[in-house]
A = this chain, B = another copy of it.
Amino acid sequence: MVRRAASDDEGRRPTTIRDVAAHAGVSVATVSRILSGTYPSAPATRGKVMKAVRELDYVANANARGLAGASSRSVAIIVNSVISPHYAHVAQGVQTQAALEGKLCIIGTTGGDPERELATVQLMRQEHAECVILVGNVVADEAYRERMGEYARALAAAGSQLVLCGRPALGPDVPALVVEYDNTGGAYAITSHLLSAGHRRILFLGRRDGYTTPDARIAGYRAALADHRVPHDPDLELEGTMERHEGYRMIRERLAAGARDFTAVFAGNDLLAAGARQALREHGLRVPDEVSMAGFDDLPTAADIDLTTVHVPHEELGRTAVRLALERRQDRSGMNAHVMLGTHIIVRDSVRPLRGPSR
């Protein structure tokens, strides 16, 4: 393995991969394969090599790391949090494709803090990640675009590649790949599905002005209302973040406020739907008998609660991000390619035709 790089500056001749091979009595190629960890090897052989590495306190320096493939053996994905199943499934796609390409997958988490994001991008660059994939919902303001531009240029200069996943493009002059999915189209389709069942008073859960994902979804909701000639009522758009407990809170507050002035709920994602469903149930309102409900994402939760929702190709987003980035490293053209993946409705058992006129 490696001694702290700092000790390279203390004048000792660094141990080379050849020393390790000689000490272990195996070939340099074998040591390289075992250290790169991308090929199977006999436990006994690995044991000998690891013993030599430990006894010589081997430094995988830049050259040895090159031999060992370490300087080009990982892809990186950076997300706010991994307990969001949306992010986790994209990360799973990245891991799957990375494994197919013989790469490791490392994930950085930021908790949504730009300073931590910056530090994490640097860490991934120091690790020579072949690509750095940034995922998800953001406020796409000037500071954001400037920051992403810096990342894109800095990574490109290091022979790496920035990929924005589920985020808007930055413009033709920025060397970033973009892999998006159709938020607005999916929201339009599922809102139309509720409207076609006769619903007119449809709550939208998770409005958050300025954030790219909820903005794109509420745009689809509004467009569908307009095309069905249903007047837009801002009072039906409930604000909050995209977490389960927020869906619970929004419905609790709405029902506590008095009369039930809606017949259907379009939750901005499946987690909001799960929380909202629980609040409705505690209020004696069953889905779909008393209230129809639709979600967004098609995460496992949606299957558990029989939720009609919009399928987002999470794993395909991650796989596509890795595949595009590694292709671009072969062929430096089209460094700012832009891919949009489709979304579609999954019909389960959470929507009923409205009987009688809605209020």
Knowing A4-B158, A85-B85, A278-B303, the reply to whether A109 touches B107 (Cβ < 8 A) is yes
- A71 to B63 alpha-carbon distance, docked (Å): 20
Q: Contact check, A120 vs B37: say whether CB atoms are below 8 A apart.
A: yes
Task: Give the contacting residue for A115; candidates B41, B106, B127; CB below 8 A.
Answer: B41
A residues 125-156 touching B (CB-CB < 8 Å): 125-128, 143, 146, 150, 153-154
Q: Contact check, A5 vs B4: say whether CB atoms are below 8 A apart.
A: no
Chain B residues with CB under 8 Å of A66's CB are 6
What 7 A-B pairs come out closest when comparing CB atoms? A37-B119, A6-B62, A107-B107, A5-B62, A83-B92, A95-B109, A82-B88
Task: Give the contacting residue for A73; candidates B38, B119, B153; CB below 8 A.
Answer: B119
Knowing A1-B158, A157-B57, the reply to whether A43 touches B119 (Cβ < 8 A) is no
Knowing A50-B150, A105-B109, the reply to whether A4 touches B37 (Cβ < 8 A) is no
Chain B residues with CB under 8 Å of A157's CB are 54, 57
- A2 to B122 alpha-carbon distance, docked (Å): 8
Copies of this chain in its oligomeric complex: 2
A residues 173-216 touching B (CB-CB < 8 Å): none
Q: Is the interface of A mostly helix, strand, loop or mixed?
A: helix
Q: Contact check, B109 vs A108: say whether CB atoms are below 8 A apart.
A: no
Chain B residues with CB under 8 Å of A331's CB are none
Q: Contact check, B1 vs A304: say whether CB atoms are below 8 A apart.
A: no
A254 contacts partner chain B, Cβ-Cβ < 8 Å: no
Chain B residues with CB under 8 Å of A338's CB are none
Chain B residues with CB under 8 Å of A40's CB are 115
Q: Contact check, B82 vs A104: say whether CB atoms are below 8 A apart.
A: no
A36 contacts partner chain B, Cβ-Cβ < 8 Å: yes
Task: Give the contacting residue for A53; candidates B34, B91, B95, B154; CB below 8 A.
Answer: B154
Task: Give the contacting residue for A39; candidates B1, B60, B115, B150; CB below 8 A.
Answer: B115
- A222 to B53 alpha-carbon distance, docked (Å): 45
Task: Give the contacting residue for A123; candidates B61, B70, B118, B244; CB below 8 A.
Answer: B70
Chain B residues with CB under 8 Å of A271's CB are 300
Task: Give the contacting residue for A54; candidates B9, B127, B153; CB below 8 A.
Answer: B153
Closest chain B CB from A30 CB (angstroms): 13
Chain B residues with CB under 8 Å of A118's CB are 34, 37, 46, 50
